[in-house]
Structure 1
Amino acid sequence: MIKHQLNQFFSFTKKERNGIIVLLFFCIALLIARSIILRSSVQKISLNDSEFIAEIEKFEKSLELKELKNESVPYKISKEKKWSAPETLIVFDPNTINVEELKILGFTEKQISTILNYRNKGGRFVTKKDLQKIYGITKDQYETLEPYIQIKANENFSLQSKKEVEKFKPIKTIEINSVSESDLTQLNGIGISFAKRICKYREILGGFYNKEQLLEVYGMDTLRYNQFIHQIIIDTSLIIKSDLNLIKYDELIKRQYLSKYQVQAILKYRDLKGKFNKLEELVENNLVSEVVYIKVKPYFIIK
């Protein structure tokens, strides 16, 4: 029974066999045609590949030329001359030094131009540190030249015309540590805005101990400073001083010139030792630098 069913399943009539043969013929024909088409396309692709590779090589060479041109631009920019310590150092006044002397001291063309523009606009170097305000002056450059800077005194108005000097109001001398905001406006070049800034900074400091501290007031420049500096005096006995053995962190951190690290070091030293016997211990124990010590010394006492 099963054998008979299998024979019927796998047996074909004559018509079916003819159809199978035709179908196989078409399949073989399709395989041959496909093979021929693939071979021809491979030849074309290989030809196109060689042309394409040539185009790529040509394009890469053009890119290399462009890169070389682009690299030449930053190279020129990076060649800008920087300051280097000069072989010869001379004593100079930044208010009067000429271009040739500036070149001898190693100043760059840009720095020379900035200094001359500053002076031509009425700017004046009152202290040595004013040179640091010139754009481009590095710390190393200033420290090298600082011993050779000599600024002539009593020439506060050398860059001002007689007319400008004549229009200044003649007033009596003002004591800066006790003067009120309204009285400060009597100073040449000081309006209500700067009067408030001076009083605010005086409060932060605890008082001024030298005139140059006024240059630390926000917005103050040497041109404005020179207009009124001859009109003020300082009574250092009016400075508010704090006992270094009693002052607390909240008050000490508000003090000008001291960093957070220095405040913490001072208080830690006091806790370990018990108290300060003299102000010099700040420097002797490397709690602050000598420069900072000179600035803060007027504001502290030891009881």
Structure 2
Amino acid sequence: MKNFWFKFFHLSISEWRGIFLLAILIFFISLLPYTLKNHYKPTALNFDDLDSISILLQNNRILALASRDSLFQTNYKTWGVNSINPFPFDPNTISANDFKKLGFTDKQTQTFINYRSKGATFKTKNDLLKLYFVDDDIFAVLAPYILLPDTITYSNVKTTKKTDKAKVQIELNAADSIDLIKIPGIGKYRAKKILELKNKLGGFIDYDQLKMIYGFNDSLIETLKPYLTINPYLIKKININNANIKEMAKHPYIGYNLAISIYNYKQNHGNYKSIEELKNLKSVNDSIYHLVLPYITVQ
């Protein structure tokens, strides 16, 4: 039994040395916290240093962004100028396809078309600078090819309009209200009255017929003549062989009584073979005959 316990606790010299060294190591490790506590004192946090670091980082970020933007702008300008293929064009009428051929992208072309579709017009070359993607460099390339004036002198524009208006000549029997109001001295009201009389007569054969409208005197008609022409072949005539009394009576030169006479004569003698047969009517003298002659037909 004694030998058993002796063998169980028996250690060699090297093993005892290891145990001794381990004990010394444990001892020094246990003293380490006390040693560090006495020799290490944490320094207070300096917020001024943090502010300096923050400012430095912010400045670096700003410089990086500025460098990126500068590079982007340089590339954009280089792309814009190098991509432009100028040819003569009017920005008010150029198609989307042709605008793209100038060198603009699909997005820029669509922006241009949308801008113009909202009612925008280009009056001078400089108006093209209103497009955000047209900078000074691109404009300098396009300017010689833009079919617009550099500037507009409004006094000259007014003079031109008056001159053009004076050159206008309207065919009175074919004119509508839009045509008539182009003539100096004829507004919407007078244009309306002219058209009403034209529809009643069937057309004009002479300028003096305008005197049938209230307010149209010799002086006014003389000022209108340079702007008017009359084509008597455009007159709408009444076929007295087919028209009834009511239709003929609407004409200012015929009226109800003459319409009855014309109709009764046809009923008694058959259709008119010529307009001259009207002279057989007691109510038709030479004056009335020549007055209605341009407005009736038997065919």
TM-score > 0.5 by shorter chain: no
TM-score by length of 2: 0.44
- In the superposition, the TM-score normalised over structure 1's length comes to 0.43
The structure that has the greater radius of gyration is 2
